Amino acid sequence: MKNVSFLIGELLFVPFEEKLLMTSVSSLIEDLQDFEIYSIDLRNISSSSPLVRLTDNEVIEHDLQLSVDGIHILYQTRSLGSSRRKFNNSQARLCSLNLIDGHS
């Protein structure tokens, strides 16, 4: 069993990689870094097995879906504004992340 230090919003099992993906959430929207996607390798769930952060941005990720080939994770993002950007991108976006090489 693996303990995580955040609230979990969504869970998605990836059979091809034997990983469990999850979104982190917070009851208060104070820091957008509290909303990210993480993975846990289920082949090695010992205490030394790391929790891997897959995203690092200032948006809220939601609606995780696995692609038909099982290699990409599809998700939507919602922006609430950003201190890192010069403009406010408030439009929802569809994003993908390759689970093998980490490219989006």
Question: What would the pLDDT profile of 15-27 be if each residue is shown by its tens digit?
Answer: 988 999 999 988 7
pTM: 0.81
DSSP type of residue 68: T
In terms of Cα–Cα distance, which of 84, 88, 104 is closest to 96?
Answer: 104
Task: Decide the pairing of beta strands 52-53 and 60-66.
Answer: unpaired
The residue ranges of every structural domain in the chain are 7-98
Residues 36-64, buried b or exposed e (16+ Cβ, 10 A)? bbbbbeeeeeeeeeeeeebbebbbbbbeb
How confident is the model over 6-63, as pLDDT tens digits?
A: 889 999 999 988 999 999 988 776 666 778 999 998 888 776 667 899 998 888 899 9
